[in-house]
Each structure stands twice: as C-alpha cells, then as structure tokens.
Structure 1
Amino acid sequence: MEVLNVNLKQASYYDKKDAIKDITFVISQGELVGLIGPNGAGKSTIIKSILGLMEDVDGEVVMGQESKFAYIPEHPTFYDELTLWEHIELAKAVNGIERDSYYKEAEKLLTTFRLQDEKHHYPGSFSKGMQQKLMIIIALLIKPKLYIVDEPFIGLDPKAMKDFISLLEEEQLRGAGILMSTHVLDTAEKICDRFLLVNYGRLIAAGTLEEIQGKSVLEGSLMDCFYVLMERDND
C-alpha cells in the first residue's frame, strides 16, 4: 500500500523558475527510499513541496489514507521557553496521542540516546547532535505512517547513528514508509531499499542499487554509480 505518491510537474521560487521539474515517485509501506543529490540539486525543494511549504507548485502530493507524518529537519527547531520534556509533552498534545505507553516509550528513547540527564534542560543549550536526537525522539513517538527525514546523520555520534538506524528498521516492520535525504552514501547504500538521484532539479535515475548500477553501467558502490551518472548528466 502506498504511503506517499508524488507527481510534481514543477516548483519555483520567486527568483528561480523550475527549481524542480518532473519529479515523480511512490513510497510504499515498509519502504526506505533515499533521496540523493549534490548541494543545490533540488532535494530540499522536493521536501518542501511535499510538506506544502512551497507557494509556486504545479503538481500533486497524495499521502495514504492515514495522513499522519513526521518530519525530521536538517536544522532542529525548538521553543526556547520549553524544556526537553516539555517538548515531548507538547508533541503528545498537538498530535492527539492517547496511548498509555507514550511516556514510557519516551523514557526508553531518552535512555537509548543518552539524554536522561538533560530531561529538564532547554534544548537551545544542547549541541547539534543532542538537538538532532530530540527531533528523532519526537518523530518516533508520533508513530506515523510516513517519515520525511532530511540529513539525519549530521552531528550524530556513531552509537546514535546505529541506534537510529535500528529504530528505523523497527518502524519499517511496523509498516511505516520513509523518505530520507542524505549525503552519507555509504550508509544509505546499506539501509535504503531504493534511491532517487536528483541533479539540477530533475530525477536522473531511480531504483534499487542493482538498477542504479545497470543505468550507470558500473558494478560499483552507490557513490561510484552516483558520480558516473552525475558526470554523464552534466556533459
């Protein structure tokens, strides 16, 4: 079953027409899809279009029957006057979460990401990695059918990366679909089911690693194939 169906003919900024063009893809339940491309390729514009944050968009974005989604941004955002735990309480209220296990799950995630001692501290004083962990915890507590994740590994220590990947795998087993934009190609190669390669606002390749290798005519890593396809597209 589909959790996200994207058909974007174009999306533009006031100073840049056709920032993205002809972006079409589907994400199904339990699927992790990697959104790959160089800086300025249009990955953020695609995500903003999906989230409804772009004003000039021609196209359609359809989420599954249960439209609840969680967004983990590249740059964490917080309320300065709320503590870590108050953010967790706010997420529960805003999303109308009523399950009795919510706070127990929150405590478990705080332990996993080693944030127990910061429970009543203000996230504004945290490191980038600690702030990213809180964004991840809140998203996981929502338990959506769709995750949209933008550069989640920046700032995370190796243990947090491993824990996050394990938790994503659990969410896939639960049936959640995941769209993940990342530059960490070696990790993406290991965890993603399919890939969307974007360059100059266009989708230049899509598919599994084997399909990407076929299109690049190279039996190499995702990074090697990505480089070949990028160079070919740039010629």
Structure 2
Amino acid sequence: MIKIKDLTYSYSGTPIIADLSFSFLSSKIYTITGENGSGKTTLLRLILGLLQPERGSIQFEEKAIISYLPDHNGLYEDLSITDNTKFRLALYKQSFNAIQNEYYSLLNKYHLYDKRDEPISSLSLGMKKKAAIIATILVHANVYIFDEPTGGIDHEAKAEIISLFKEMDLKQKCILIVTHDEELLSQIPSVLLKMQEGRLME
C-alpha cells in the first residue's frame, strides 16, 4: 500500500500538487488520467523519490521495490531486447535465469521472440513498447508504475499491451498507470482516477 497524506508540490511558485491525500492499495490497478499539466507525472516522480514534496508524506506499507516505465520506454537503443531485460534486472540485483522461461514465453506470445537479439533501434514503436513493458513486469517488485504505456502505437500493438496488463499477477502488487488512452481505460479492470487541480478524484 502507498499512503499519501497532505502532499504539496509547487514549481516556480505555481502549485502542481495541492494537499493531496490518497491510499493506493495492493492487489489493484489504478489508472490515472487528466489534462496535460494536471500533475500526473509530477505525482509519479514524487512517489519515485525523484522529487521532494514541500510538505506532506508518502509512506509504503513495506519496503518499496518499484519497477518504473517512463513514457520514453527507458530502453537502450543499441542493446537487444534480451540485454535490456538483463540490464534492468541487474539494477535490482535480480537473476535473469530465474525468470528466463517466463521471459521467452512472453516474447513468443507477443511476437517478439524472433527479435530478441536485435537492437532496439531496429524495432517498431509498438515492439519497443511491448519489450519495455515485458522488461518492467519481469522485475520482482511490489509497486509497478507505467507512464503512458500505449502512447503513439498502432491498434494491434495496443491490443497486445492491454492483454499484457490484464494477465499481470496482481497478488501483493500495486500498479499505477498514467494514460490518456480511452481504449486502455475501458478495457483494463482498474480504479479510475482523474488528476484535477492537483488532487486525485475518483
């Protein structure tokens, strides 16, 4: 669980997050939508510890292991899908061998197996997004954060990414997805939240 209390953050004197209080529970998916500039990405950065609030607190029920996918995919273009996945796991001191079977199964299911050793730069945007999401969910974590995971991709790739989210094991995991994608919002069973005037509205 992530418990946020009276969180406030401003940029150049302008409030971005205003006295926000909310509890994100484990075993749930939360989708967060809202207009550009409403504070969605700022909230993610505060949860990640990349920004420090002016006041208020963010508390985790247990030690947080956060697997985060930024909107630009977070992949190294000159590395392969496999090497990117190994690198991400190494950041968490986790073993590729432990998830190898699941990794190859996901690549095969989502039409990336034949591309596994090719550089990311050679892939379509949809393939890059799928590869990045697979690398993110294979990290053994208790919080998963995705920023615009379906941005700019075609319908076929989007359908596969929606399927990936639907099949995630939610047990003891808190999943936050920031998105503008109406198709994703309508198809993923989630708690829908709207960021408005620096607060989360259900």
Q: Which TM-score band (shorter chain)?
A: 0.7 to 0.9
Please tell me the residue identity of whatever aligns with 1:5.
K
**67, 76, 80: which one aligns with 1:83:** 80
1:194-226 deviation digits (Å, cap 9, x = unpaired): 2222223233x22xxxxxxxxxxxxxxxxxxxx
Corresponding residue for residue 5 of structure 1: 3
Q: Give the equivalent residue in structure 2 for 1:215.
A: none
Flag as ranges the 4+ runs of structure 1 deviating above 6 A.
Answer: none
Task: Say if 2:67 is the partner of 1:70.
Answer: yes
Aligned residue type for 2:101: K
Residues in 1 aligned to 2:75 and 2:188: alpha-carbon distance in whole angstroms: 29
Please say if 1:108 is aligned against 2:110: no
Which secondary structure state, in structure 2, belongs to the residue aligned with residue 142 of structure 1?
coil
Structure 2: stretches of 5+ with no match in the other structure: none
Shift of the alpha carbon at 1:183?
A: 0.9
**Does the CA contact (< 8 Å) of 2:165 and 2:188 recur in 1?**
no
> How does 1:114-129 map onto structure 2 within 5 Å?
114-129=111-126
- Which residue of structure 2 lines up, in the alignment, with residue 220 of structure 1? none
* Superposition deviation, residue 118 in structure 1: 2.1
Give the SS at the match of 2:22.
strand
Cα offsets for 1:97-150 (capped at 9, x unmatched) = 247441111111212222222222221333322221121011111132211111
What is the match of residue 151 of structure 2?
154
Q: Which structure's CA Rg is the greater one?
A: 1
Deviation of the 1:9 alpha carbon: 2.6
In structure 1, the residue matched to 2:31 is: 34
Q: 1:96 aligns with which of 78, 93, 109?
A: 93
Question: Structure 1 stretch 137-146 or stretch 121-130: which is displaced more?
Answer: 121-130
> Could you say which residue in structure 1 is the equivalent of 2:166?
169
Structure that is richer in helix per residue: 1
SS of residue matched to 1:129: helix
1:35/1:179 contact within 8 Å kept: yes
TM-score (norm 2): 0.86
Q: Which residue of 2 aligns with 1:200?
A: 197
Specify the SS of the correspondent of 2:14. strand
Amino acid at match of 2:138: L
Deviations 1:76-100 (CA, angstroms, capped at 9, x unpaired): 1233442221111112222222474
Classify the secondary structure of the residue corresponding to 1:9. strand
SS of residue matched to 1:174: coil
Write the deviation string for residues 21-41 of structure 1: whole angstroms up to 9, x where unpaired: 122211212111121111111
SS at match of 1:171: coil
Aligned counterpart, 1:211: none
Q: TM-score, normalised by structure 1?
A: 0.75
Structure 2 CA distance, aligned partners of 1:8 and 1:51? 17
Q: Secondary structure at the match of 2:151?
A: coil
- Between 1 and 2, higher relative CO (CA 8 Å, sep ≥ 6) is seen in 2
- In structure 1, distance between residues paired with 2:151 and 2:129: 8
Give ranges in structure 1 of 5+ residues lacking alignment. 207-235
SS at match of 1:197: strand
Alpha-carbon distance between aligned partners in 1 of 2:61 and 2:78, rounded to the nearest angstrom? 35
**Cα 1:114–1:99 shift into 2, 3 Å:** closer
- Counterparts of 2:150 and 2:77, CA distance in 1: 24
